[in-house]
Structure 1
Amino acid sequence: EPTGCTYSLTAPSVVNVAGVDMVTATVDTGACEGAVTFQTVACIAMDGEPSPGRCAQGSGIVPAQVFFQPYRPGATYTATGRGCAATGNPPQKVCSENGPLTATL
């Protein structure tokens, strides 16, 4: 029986985008068994902040990459992810959660 797709979440890391330090994480699609990925979502939140953080979506097999700012050196960031695929006939939604992965940056 088809099980959907596997997804990988990267741990939060610091990147420099146009001279600005940001925290990023990515959800990428791995192997699919009898399914087609239609959405990936990557989210980052900074521990101790009242805001829910930030999320970004990827469509199809395009990875979801989220950028979080402001970057605060020494803060702890948590990344979570989700991937959803369609499988079966008629197609049914199958989602897989990833994380959380935490890093003090």
Structure 2
Amino acid sequence: MVRLVTALLAASTLTLSSLAGAGAATAEPWPPSPCGFTITPPQVVQVDGVSKVSATVTATVCGFAASPYQSVACIELQGQPGGACMQGTDTAQVYFEPYTPGATYSSRGRGCGIIVPTLPADNCQMLGPVTATL
């Protein structure tokens, strides 16, 4: 019952705030994501005896009535096209191979939160790039 009341209160607040902003003629910046996220720098890890480069996006804190909705972690070898990305809910870990010693890698990502389970946020927290020579 408490969750239902909280969800209805959050939904009505979002509805009223969107109606109040509907008449504004200037573009407003997106509000911050309802959850905070972090990204790790690229690092070499061993997976089944194989060296790979990895990065992780993790949810750190969420506001009242909010929870992580989507995390995306990407990593690429600088100077090379492509890369690798993985998606998760509160955590996303990506692996890139082959590992090239002495090369520079870059990790990027994004994290999105939701206010109530049925209302995903329209904006996400962009993370990175974070570079490391490994």
Same-fold call, TM > 0.5?
yes
> Scaled by the length of structure 1, what TM-score is found?
0.88
Max Rg structure: 2
Which one has more relative contact order, counting CA pairs under 8 Å at least 6 apart? 1
Matched, 1:104 2:133: yes
CA distance 1:92–1:57, change in 2 (3 Å): closer
Aligned to 1:22: 52
Q: Distance in 2 between matches of 1:81 and 1:20?
A: 24
Q: Distance in 2 between matches of 1:95 and 1:48?
A: 27
Matched, 1:39 2:67: no
Unaligned runs of 5+ in 1: none
> Scaled by the length of structure 2, what TM-score is found?
0.70
Q: Secondary structure at the match of 1:49?
A: coil
The Cα of 1:91 is off from its aligned counterpart by 2.0
Structure with the bigger percentage of helix: 2
Matched, 1:82 2:110: yes
Task: Report the number of matched residues.
Answer: 102
Q: Distance in 2 between matches of 1:31 and 1:20?
A: 33
Structure 2 residue identity aligned to 1:10: T
Q: Which aligned runs of 4 or more in structure 1 are off by greater than 3 angstroms?
A: none
Structure 1 residue identity aligned to 2:131: T
Unaligned runs of 5+ in 2: 1-12, 14-30
Matched, 1:6 2:36: yes
Greater CA deviation, 1-10 or 18-27? 1-10
The Cα of 1:87 is off from its aligned counterpart by 2.1
RMSD between superposed Cα atoms in Å: 2.0
